[in-house]
Structure 1
Amino acid sequence: MLSRKQLQRYSRQIMLPQIGETGQEKLSAARVLIIGLGGLGSPAALYLAAAGIGELHLVDGDTVEISNLQRQVLYKTNHRDKDKAQVAAQQLTAANPEIRIHAHCRMADQAWLSSLLSQQSFDLVLDCTDNLNIRHTINRVCRVQRVPVIMASVRGFSGQLVSFDFGSESSPCYACLFPPATEQSELPEAENCSTVGVVGPALGMVGSAQALEAIKMIVGLPVSSLNRLQLFEAASLEWRALTLPANSACPVCG
């Protein structure tokens, strides 16, 4: 049952028939893992904390740099050289002291992530990273542990968003769409914000969309990005979607 303070804090979303008190109780009971606290993770974490997600785990091994501040809205100039996960936890706690927040000041390698997801029950993982290898690791581990995942990326003015419910055996996965490179591959390292640049508000829009999809998934509403690659073009403010069938030749789930 929601407390009087919760009913007041979340009143504007509780009055929505799609959420109501039942949906708010689901949000308050949810445990969400956010991996990457940069341009995507910042708005996603802010909105999920504000919405009353009961427990947030924040994962990032980087420290705040001056070049982050153009797009990573959780941080201020005086946070320079401090651990992102720790600063993010402090900022979100200040925004909503009613929820539980845990900072993990490290990168999410496969062994650590597998251990965390096997030892603790998470309702959802948000992949807000800008590293293709880590994204494939998150995809593999979440599929093995059967934890739903919402993935996003932005380069320049272009963004992508896709969700997978690995509780379903028939769910495709990220590798169905973007197969991981083999160990012998000599493909160049994937482009990221530090190599090709990015416009900050595009990250804000896609990160906010991640938070929106997370809320919908937790309360049981239809999730528009589930098994569908949502493509966003900030230059034209256009979204388009591609349905993703399972790939029988997928090296992860095929």
Structure 2
Amino acid sequence: MELSETQIRRYARHILLPEVGGTGQEKLLAARVLVVGAGGLGAPLLLYLAAAGVGSLGIIDDDRVDLSNLQRQIIHDTNGVGRPKVDSAADRIAAINPDVRVTRLPERLTAANALAVLDGFDIVADGSDNFATRYLLNDACRLAGKILVSAAMLRFEGQIGTFKSHLGGDHPCYRCIFPEPPPPGLIPSCSEAGVLGALAGLMGTLQATEVLKEILGVGESLSGRLLLVDALNARFQPMVVKPDPACLLCGRDPTITDLSAHA
């Protein structure tokens, strides 16, 4: 792929970076990234991936824009209240960068469709807001051999990690850290406990950074580390994570070999 004159101007600040250059920008334009959820995390994530020139973005979300979303979901606006989030997000992406092709999936990710949805993408970014989808994505990405960049947030705190246990070696999966979902009701949702709007921007932007690094093959991956963010006290704490030999998904004797447990 050869960059056009317009693209050279659009991505000039990327091209100036030795770690990116013209070759790296071509990689971004050829990349295919699936974003699960066009909400608090997905909104800034999608904006920055689109601005960076990631050539193909998939958005899966079955929700519609609500007024309460607008405090943090900056890809949507007041006029979009009531619209499907995938449509609102796709329109905003088109306004930012016509280079980007958007696949709209106005549905919920399930055990029945997960592997088929992931099939057309290289990297998956989890912007979901519930444990069921988080564990489903982890398992599906492991089984499909996809890189997963996952983030979560609540109140003033967030966490982010990159998971590529399908590569073996020192790469853990999400279950190596959190083997099973917490009991229902133990951890409140953002709709129950609240979340600082700007924290969504911070965590989604960190996700975008890690996705871009994985596409470009530059820097130090977050695989093998979980980054904990305390926005209230301005603290970032990395935590080293090792693969768990007893992990039910990627350990020595895995019992999760398909997605039937999520059905």
TM-score by length of 2: 0.91
3-state SS in 2 of match to 1:110: coil
CA RMSD of aligned residues (A): 1.3
Q: Does 1:155 align with 2:141?
A: no
Deviates more, 1:36-45 or 1:172-181: 172-181
Q: Measure the CA separation in 1 of the matches of 2:5 and 2:227.
A: 38
2:35 aligned with 1:38, yes or no? no
The alignment partner of 1:94 has SS state of helix
CA deviation after TM superposition for structure 1 residue 166, in Å:
3.9
Q: Which moved more, 1:168-177 or 1:14-23?
A: 168-177
Question: Pick from 227, 231, 234: which aligns with 1:230?
Answer: 227
Determine if the alignment matches structure 1 residue 95 to structure 2 residue 92.
no
Deviations 1:67-97 (A, max 9, x none): 1011100111111111001110111111111
Give, as a single letter, the amino acid of the residue that structure 2 aligns with 1:249: A
Equivalent position to 1:221, from 218, 223, 231: 218
Matches within 5 A, 1:161-200: 161-170=160-169, 171-181=171-181, 187-188=184-185, 190-200=187-197
2: distance between equivalents of 1:141 and 1:6? 35
What is the letter of the counterpart of residue 246 of structure 1?
P
How far 1:102 sits from its partner (Å)? 1.1
Q: Distance in 2 between matches of 1:200 and 1:96?
A: 25
Question: Partners of 1:6 and 1:167 in 2: how far apart?
Answer: 34
Cα distance in 2 between the residues matched to 1:64 and 1:85: 9
Sequence identity, in percent? 40
2:256 corresponds to:
none
Secondary structure of 1:111 counterpart:
coil
Q: Distance in 2 between matches of 1:32 and 1:13?
A: 19
Q: 2:203 matched to which residue of 1?
A: 206
Using the size of structure 1 for normalisation, the TM-score is 0.94
How many residues end up aligned between the 2 structures?
A: 249
Kindly provide the CA deviation profile for residues 104-127 of structure 1, in whole angstroms up to 9, marking residues without a partner as x: 111111221111223x2x221000
The whole-number CA distance in structure 2 between the counterparts of 1:108 and 1:29 is 24
* Structure 2 spans left out of the alignment, 5+ residues: 252-263
Deviation at 1:223, TM superposition (A): 3.5
